[in-house]
Amino acid sequence: MSVRNFFTQQEKEDIILAIKNAELDTSGEIRVHIEETCKGDARDRAAYIFDKLEMQNTEQRNGVLFYLALKNRKFAILGDAGINSMVPENFWDDIRDVMLDHFRGNHFVDGLIEGITMAGQQLKEHFPYQKDDVNELSDEISFGK
């Protein structure tokens, strides 16, 4: 099965809607990247994808990447310098644990949506929407091999 077909069209739309909702009241940016395998450490791979998607180019350095490697059952959440300097030290671990509970029951969409929502709440708190904000990064899910 192609990684692009792991989620149904409706599930993809639900994930994208969660991203749009999470970004509604914030200048923060959230992306989801899904690929089949990750040969090394998921955080290292997520950092590579973060750079490849040019997520570090947001004005306030407040991008968040949710990275999933389906076949290896690996995932990582990576925040840029701006958001990392604002959230509590264990914040990303807390989101990871919530998502992992969903993933263990094969509820990947629910896990992603809850993780995205939690990240969005912190982005709203620390990077509230300004009248001149623009959507700096695509809300679409990106796919690797």
* 65-122 pLDDT per residue, tens: 999 999 999 999 999 999 999 888 888 999 999 999 999 999 999 999 999 999 999 9
Does the pLDDT at position 59 exceed 90?
no
Contacts (Cβ under 8 Å, ≥6 apart) of 97:
none
> Which helix or strand (DSSP H or E) is residue 66 part of?
strand 63-69
135 to each of 30, 31, 32, how far by Cα in Å?
A: 10, 12, 15
Judge whether residue 1 has pLDDT over 70.
no
CA distance 118 to 79: 13
Residue 48 has pLDDT above 90, yes or no: yes
pLDDT at 99: 96
Length in residues, the chain: 145
Instruction: Scan for tokens 């623009």, then name that residue.
Output: 134
For the cut 90, the answer to whether the pLDDT of residue 27 exceeds it is no
